[in-house]
């Protein structure tokens, strides 16, 4: 059960299996050399037969079988699992064919069933078990193999291969159960994360404009002021919509809400990603401009004021809306209360002296 993009992908595991098959060939060669030494010492008369029929021929066949799989794998790495299981069965059958009296070798017929567990697919495990049983019966064509097994042993071997399949199936079922549990846990974690994000969004943002709320504004300002005080450059600004109460009274609150959303959008379009914008309450907005000088901050705020004043609202019978802005540039040692109070005082000055202007650290921008 492999999926595209899965880090534990099928070609990578097939490569490991193929290396394992080459290791089987190598182990057979080493075991054959050990047997050769024993044959030379104790059964010299049997040496020629041993070399040819139990070492060179089976070793050559096994090498050809694995080499053929290697060639196919290099040509086509995807969907090779059937060929890998078939090769495992053929390797086991080759060893048994040439070593019929080594009854322990019959267990190798379960090799493909073990290999199939890597693919984690029930159908492949069943296929590999059937391959092993089929190979066991086909081996009976060899008189030496047939003579080495009684009917009882044949039945027992079939039962053992079927038992290997059942064990493999249990492993797969348990694995599927664990995967399902992990999937449910991940889904629960994802749902919890989404809920937390939604809750965080609800508690930190203004539902109407999508901007941060006044609570988040103060939290962010506090976090900025905890940084290196002498290296922090920023301006705090308060923006208030002029005559907003008359808009609500004359045209209705739904029009007022529409104006608030439009102004919030225009502010967002002017400020940079490093700046912070919040709806402070009612028709008032709060801004924190960072990484800019007082002159740059003043130009940014005046651009906001200008854009807002140039927009004509059909819902207001073609009238425009203006805003007044007061801001202050942070100086070393200034606390949050001082920053906010100074910006609020300058906003009041802008309101009192004609509205539609920016009052800050330099001469205020006159209304146009």
In a domain, 173, yes or no: yes
**Mean of pLDDT over the chain:** 86
Torsion angle (degrees, nearest 10) of CA 185, 188, 194, 196 = -100
213 phi/psi in degrees, rounded to 5 = -95, 180
The better pLDDT of the pair 232, 240 is held by 240
In a domain, 205, yes or no: no
Domain match, 18 and 144 both: yes
Q: What local confidence, expressed as pLDDT, does residue 251 receive?
A: 92
Flag the least confident range among 26-30, 127-131, 184-188.
Answer: 184-188
Domain match, 162 and 279 both: no
Q: What local confidence, expressed as pLDDT, does residue 359 receive?
A: 94
pLDDT at 16 over 80: yes
Query: CA torsion sign, 343 to 345 to 349 to 352?
Result: positive
Q: What local confidence, expressed as pLDDT, does residue 9 receive?
A: 56
The better pLDDT of the pair 68, 50 is held by 68
Range(s) of the domain holding residue 138: 10-184
Domain match, 151 and 243 both: no
Domain match, 167 and 250 both: no
Q: What local confidence, expressed as pLDDT, does residue 203 receive?
A: 77
Domain match, 118 and 14 both: yes
Average pLDDT over residues 357-365: 70
In a domain, 364, yes or no: no
pLDDT bracket for residue 106 (50, 70, 90): confident
Domain match, 26 and 117 both: yes
The number of folded domains in the chain is 2
Q: What local confidence, expressed as pLDDT, does residue 6 receive?
A: 46
Q: What local confidence, expressed as pLDDT, does residue 300 receive?
A: 94
Q: Take residue 12 and report the two structure tokens written for it.
A: 């990578």
Domain match, 131 and 72 both: yes
Whether the CB-CB separation of 359 and 325 falls below 8 Å is answered with yes
DSSP-based three-state secondary structure for 367: coil
Beta pairing class for 276-281 and 234-241: unpaired
Domain match, 320 and 250 both: yes
Domain match, 236 and 319 both: yes
Average pLDDT over residues 231-255: 90
First to last CA, the chain: 70
The number of angstroms, rounded, from the C-alpha of 244 to the middle of its chain's C-alpha atoms is: 48
Tell me which of 164, 184, 204 is where a domain ends. 184
Q: Take residue 168 and report the two structure tokens written for it.
A: 């493999």
Active site residue 189: no
Flag the least confident range among 6-10, 42-46, 109-113.
Answer: 6-10
Kindly give, in sequence order, each residue whose CB lies less than 8 Å from that of residue 302, ignoring residues fewer than 6 positions away.
Answer: 358, 365
**Region of residue 50 (phi > 0: left; psi between -120 and 50: alpha; otherwise: beta):** alpha
Q: What local confidence, expressed as pLDDT, does residue 228 receive?
A: 57
In a domain, 296, yes or no: yes
Average pLDDT over residues 185-205: 76
Flag the least confident range among 132-146, 216-230, 262-276.
Answer: 216-230
Tokens 């060669």 correspond to 29
Percent of the chain with pLDDT over 70: 92
Percent of the chain with pLDDT over 90: 38
79 phi/psi in degrees, rounded to 5 = 55, 50
Average pLDDT over residues 200-228: 84
Which of 65, 228, 269, 283 is catalytic? The answer is 283
Domain match, 224 and 315 both: yes
In a domain, 207, yes or no: no
Whether the CB-CB separation of 112 and 132 falls below 8 Å is answered with yes
* Helix or strand holding residue 24 (H, E): helix 10-42
In a domain, 81, yes or no: yes
- The per-type count for the chain, helices as H runs and strands as E runs, is 13, 8
The better pLDDT of the pair 42, 262 is held by 262
| CA distances from residue 159 to 181, 225, 293 in whole angstroms, order as listed | 33, 76, 84
pLDDT at 350 over 70: yes
Q: What local confidence, expressed as pLDDT, does residue 201 receive?
A: 62
Span 282-316, pLDDT tens digits: 899 999 998 888 999 999 999 999 999 999 999 99
In a domain, 366, yes or no: no
pLDDT bracket for residue 7 (50, 70, 90): very low
Q: What local confidence, expressed as pLDDT, does residue 120 receive?
A: 84
Domain match, 130 and 256 both: no
DSSP-based three-state secondary structure for 337: helix
CATH at residue 277: 3.30.70.270
Domain match, 260 and 337 both: yes
pLDDT at 268 over 90: yes
In a domain, 123, yes or no: yes
pLDDT bracket for residue 4 (50, 70, 90): very low
pLDDT at 5 over 50: no
Q: Take residue 294 and report the two structure tokens written for it.
A: 């007082």
Span 119-165, pLDDT tens digits: 888 898 899 999 999 999 998 999 988 888 888 888 988 998 898 88
């Amino acid at each position: 059960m492999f999926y595209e993009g899965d880090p534990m992908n099928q070609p990578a595991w097939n490569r490991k299996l193929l290396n394992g098959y080459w290791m089987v060939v190598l182990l057979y060669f080493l075991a054959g050399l050990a047997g050769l030494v024993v044959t030379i010492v104790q059964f010299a008369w049997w040496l020629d037969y041993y070399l040819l029929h139990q070492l060179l021929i089976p070793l050559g066949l096994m090498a050809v079988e694995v080499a053929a799989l290697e060639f196919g794998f290099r040509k086509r790495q995807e969907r090779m699992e059937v060929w890998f299981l078939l090769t495992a069965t053929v390797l086991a059958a080759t060893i048994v064919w040439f070593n019929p009296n080594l009854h322990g070798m019959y267990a190798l017929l379960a090799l493909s069933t073990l290999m199939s567990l890597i693919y984690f697919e029930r159908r492949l495990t069943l296929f590999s078990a059937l391959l092993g049983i089929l190979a066991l019966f086909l081996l009976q064509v060899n008189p030496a193999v047939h003579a080495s097994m009684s009917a009882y042993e044949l039945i027992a071997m079939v039962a053992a291969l079927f038992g290997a399949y059942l064990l493999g199936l249990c492993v797969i079922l348990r694995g599927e159960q664990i995967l399902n549990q992990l999937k449910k846990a991940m889904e629960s974690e994802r749902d919890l994360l989404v809920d937390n994000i939604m809750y965080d969004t609800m508690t930190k943002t203004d539902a109407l404009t999508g901007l941060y709320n006044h609570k988040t504004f103060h939290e962010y300002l506090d976090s900025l002021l905890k940084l290196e005080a002498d290296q922090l450059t920023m301006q705090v600004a308060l923006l208030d919509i002029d005559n907003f109460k008359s808009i609500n009274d004359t045209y209705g609150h739904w029009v007022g809400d529409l104006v608030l959303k439009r102004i919030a959008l225009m502010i967002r379009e002017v400020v940079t990603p490093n700046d912070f914008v919040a709806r402070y309450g009612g028709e008032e907005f709060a801004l924190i401009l960072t990484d800019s000088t007082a002159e740059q901050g003043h130009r940014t705020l005046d651009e906001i004021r200008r854009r807002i004043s140039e927009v004509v609202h059909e819902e207001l019978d073609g009238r425009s809306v203006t805003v007044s802005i007061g801001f202050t540039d942070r100086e070393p040692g200034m606390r949050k209360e001082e920053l906010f109070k100074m910006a609020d005082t300058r906003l009041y000055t802008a309101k009192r002296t004609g509205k539609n202007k920016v009052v800050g650290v330099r001469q205020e921008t006159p209304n146009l």
